[in-house]
Amino acid sequence: MRLANKVALITGASSGIGRESALLFAKEGAKIVAVDINVADGEETVKMIADSGGQATFVKADVSRAEDCEAMIAAAEDRYGALHVLFNNAGIMHSQDDNAETTEEDVWDLTMAINVKGVFFGCKYGIGALRRAGGGSIINTASFVSLLGAATPQIAYTASKGAVLSMTRELATIHARENIRVNALCPGPLRTELLMKFLNTEEKKQRRLVHIPMGRFGEAAEMAQSALFLASDEASYITGSTFSVDGGITAAYVTPE
């Protein structure tokens, strides 16, 4: 198994990429710390893992709060003795996120608090745990919109994911000699509840689909497979990468420097 004897903490584990990754990582041998603010669905993820013969524990945390992130890392070490994989995946895409003129300040602030501070706090408290374990892998969920502009306005989300990508590169550079790898998973448009609530009309959906060479939305399970690779020792020489899993959208629209 690709994550045998590893402990993996995954934020946003109640649904979407987080839940699919928790299930897959557990199947590959990892002990899972499933973190979310949604208690019922987070505990359901843990139950699904247990029913499949895996090991998992749920921790309630609001990743925009430093004390919650400190506590989730402590819970991983207390319960399983170490932490080897930190998947900072939790994020929001606010329904009122729009262009710069119409997006309200509270929407901007909430998006930044969860999407950017959540990653920062995860790393702030998680890096020490990975160091104590002898090294490990950090995966931060960015987005294809960190590399190109979104056709449907979402200024706060796009800016937040650009920050995640930049943060990932710096963290990778700083901690490379400590056997701590840090990579950004950049999903393309996915058929998840998060995006489908935002693309809530057929017109909005088509504005996204027309740009995707593969002609379809991605699936959360496909992102989990990519995260598994980055978490595993198979990716031992990969750090600071922009790992795009996007149906070809950035290949079609991003010009290499």
- Among all residues, which ones are annotated catalytic? 157
Are 71 and 55 in contact, with CB atoms under 8 Å apart?
A: no
Are 39 and 60 in contact, with CB atoms under 8 Å apart?
A: yes
